[in-house]
């Protein structure tokens, strides 16, 4: 699922999310994704807001497959859009 950070909150959340780490996240909004600028196959997006809190999980209670949810930088995201056919 695509997660979006508003440009005004970017400095708030940039240092909290690192590639390769697993987090428990609370206090976020789930909205309908903009299909005009589709970057993933999901119809919903996660929006971080002022009440969003990140907790790093060092030992997960239940195993989460790495590819189900991960953070990546903008270049990696663009690479995914060119490799994955969008129907």
Sorted by where each begins, the domain ranges of the chain are: 2-83
Report how far residue 72's alpha carbon sits from residue 87's, in angstroms, rounded to the nearest whole number. Answer: 23
Predicted structure pTM score? 0.46
Structure tokens of 83? 């490799």
Q: pLDDT of 33-87, one tens digit each?
A: 766 655 556 677 777 888 888 888 887 666 655 555 667 777 877 777 766 555 5
CB-based contact 5:48 (threshold 8 Å) = yes
d(CA 12, CA 14): 6
- Helices and strands counted in the chain (H then E): 2, 3
Structural tokens at position 48: 């971080």
Q: What is the pLDDT of residue 27?
A: 86
The structure tokens listed for 55 are 């907790």
């Amino acid at each position: 699922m695509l997660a979006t950070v508003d440009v005004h909150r970017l400095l708030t959340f940039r240092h909290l999310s690192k590639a390769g780490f697993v987090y428990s996240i609370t206090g976020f909004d789930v909205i309908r994704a903009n299909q005009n600028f589709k970057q993933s196959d999901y119809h919903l997006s996660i929006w971080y807001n002022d009440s969003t809190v990140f907790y790093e999980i060092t030992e997960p209670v239940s195993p989460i497959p790495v590819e189900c949810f991960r953070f990546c930088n903008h270049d990696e995201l663009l690479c995914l859009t060119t490799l994955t056919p969008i129907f």
